[in-house]
């Protein structure tokens, strides 16, 4: 079955924001500023090309949004992970190989390092460094003796790690690199492993165990050049911001997911979550300025895996439509397509670097499908029906996770294979 949608609103806590979202959609549908939905009936089907093969597993991990591009600047190399298994969560001693695929040499594999900070769904949060996207990329690791998670900056020209971001008291990993490469958002992957295993690194050192809303954990800001770290917002502050909606917040351990930088670097979006898989689930979205001010609880829920558009606009799911929403004015800006074009707006979405193309990957009946839509021309491509062989949900699931290349004409996608391995494919847009 597909990934579960956001739960229905409770009658006394979330109903107003849900009604407001529906009203916004109705206003947009009736208003003159919303373009008519292009018909998907003539959408062109495109094929995928397999670029990695077993018996080992090859995968990138995270969704290709907010600048997460697998290709380096020239397009010569794709960075990824290679592992012996994907049928269980990795333990503290299970290392993954960090590899480069040579696009000019039939995707030949070159092993450049190993890491112990990874999981099957998100990989190790690979990011090419915006300050040197030809040669440098980030990944997460953990110390095999202490269990502390840390981020690594690797340089392929130098052939080595040029920096490690280790913090003994509050060990965090990279949760997202700003578009200018000046900062990355640091989050506690050990806490995530306890509270939602699919997103964390099991067995890592967690200094917050037993504390629902610690004052010394939350979202950190790490300066890439100096290595300095400061707490941007604490779980204690987030708990206070949620207390009115969830009076029992003190008994609900919170964790962070999806720390997403705006394209200008001015704002960070994230979800504060708790009770996942339990009654009374918390899935609250926030934005905060990069200097730690202007914390805003987003009253209109942007569902799915949101993506930053230009300015303060985000794309996500609102009232089961693919929508563009301004997080500052709290106004719906645009509806993209219709429910026939985007049957699951809560799927994994990614904008091309030009912001012109929107890719949406979603699951249906145990298979993965993709919609690739040009926001300017209305041109639409489809691909999919790719069998997940049972890896639809749970900690070992294989999400659609489309990732654009830098020229905006190809996507890297994951897939499960009949032999149980996970491999990578490329979708290429036809030349126009």
Which structural domains are found in the chain, ordered by start?
Answer: 15-428 (2.130.10.10)
pLDDT score recorded for residue 13: 37
Q: CB–CB of 432/380 below 8 Å? A: no
pLDDT score recorded for residue 43: 81
For 260, 324, 410, 427, the CA distances from 372, given in Å and listed in that order, are 22, 16, 10, 10
CA–CA gap between residue 96 and residue 371 (Å, rounded): 31
Residue owning tokens 């995707």: 107
pLDDT score recorded for residue 161: 98
pLDDT score recorded for residue 6: 38
pLDDT score recorded for residue 278: 84
Q: What is the mean pLDDT of each run of 10 residues along the chain (432 residues)?
A: 38 40 47 43 86 98 92 98 97 96 98 97 96 98 97 98 98 97 97 94 96 97 97 98 95 95 96 90 95 94 92 95 95 94 95 97 96 95 96 94 97 97 97 68
pLDDT score recorded for residue 432: 57
Q: CB–CB of 327/294 below 8 Å? A: no
For 147, 232, 291, 312, the CA distances from 213, given in Å and listed in that order, are 22, 15, 21, 28
pLDDT score recorded for residue 24: 53
**Whose CA is closest to 85, among 95, 70, 73?**
95
φ, ψ of residue 427 to 5 degrees: the values are -100, 125
pLDDT score recorded for residue 354: 96
Give the max Cα distance, the chain.
62
pLDDT score recorded for residue 1: 39
């Amino acid at each position: 079955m597909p990934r579960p949608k956001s739960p229905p609103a409770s009658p006394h806590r979330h109903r107003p924001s849900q009604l407001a979202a529906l009203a916004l959609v109705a206003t947009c549908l009736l208003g003159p500023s919303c373009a008519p939905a292009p018909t998907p009936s003539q959408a062109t089907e495109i094929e995928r090309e397999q670029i990695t093969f077993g018996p080992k597993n090859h995968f990138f991990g995270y969704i290709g949004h907010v600048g997460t591009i697998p290709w380096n600047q020239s397009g010569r190399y794709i960075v990824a992970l290679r592992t012996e298994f994907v049928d269980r969560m990795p333990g503290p001693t299970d290392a993954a190989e960090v590899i480069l695929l040579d696009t000019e040499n039939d995707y030949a594999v070159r092993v450049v390092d190993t890491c112990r900070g990874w999981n099957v769904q998100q990989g190790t949060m690979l990011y090419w460094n915006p300050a040197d996207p030809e040669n440098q990329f980030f990944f997460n690791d953990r110390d095999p003796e202490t269990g502390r998670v840390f981020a690594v900056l690797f340089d392929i020209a130098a052939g080595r790690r040029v920096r490690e971001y280790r913090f003994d008291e509050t060990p965090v990993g990279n949760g997202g690199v700003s578009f200018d490469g000046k900062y990355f958002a640091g989050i506690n992957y050990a806490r995530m492993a306890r509270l939602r295993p699919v997103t964390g690194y099991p067995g890592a050192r967690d200094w917050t165990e037993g504390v629902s809303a610690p004052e010394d954990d939350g979202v950190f800001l790490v300066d890439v050049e100096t290595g300095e770290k400061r707490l941007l917002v604490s779980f204690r502050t987030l708990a206070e911001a949620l207390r009115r909606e969830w009076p029992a917040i003190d008994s609900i351990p919170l964790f962070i997911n999806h720390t997403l930088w705006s394209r200008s670097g001015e704002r960070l979006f994230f979800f504060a979550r708790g009770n996942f898989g339990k009654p009374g689930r918390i899935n609250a979205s926030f934005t905060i300025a990069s200097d730690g001010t202007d914390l805003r609880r987003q009253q209109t829920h942007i569902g799915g895996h949101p993506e930053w558009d230009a300015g303060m606009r985000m794309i996500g799911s609102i009232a089961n439509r693919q929508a563009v929403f301004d997080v500052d004015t709290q106004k719906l800006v645009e509806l993209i397509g219709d429910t026939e074009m985007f049957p699951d707006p809560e799927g994994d979405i990614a904008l091309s670097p030009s912001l012109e193309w929107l890719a949406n990957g979603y699951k249906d009946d145990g298979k993965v499908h993709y919609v690739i839509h040009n926001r300017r021309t209305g041109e639409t491509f489809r691909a999919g029906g790719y069998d997940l062989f049972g890896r639809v949900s749970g900690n070992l699931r294989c999400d659609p996770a489309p990732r654009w290349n830098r020229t905006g004409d190809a996507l890297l996608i994951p897939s499960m294979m009949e032999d149980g391995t996970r491999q990578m494919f490329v979708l290429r847009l036809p030349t126009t």
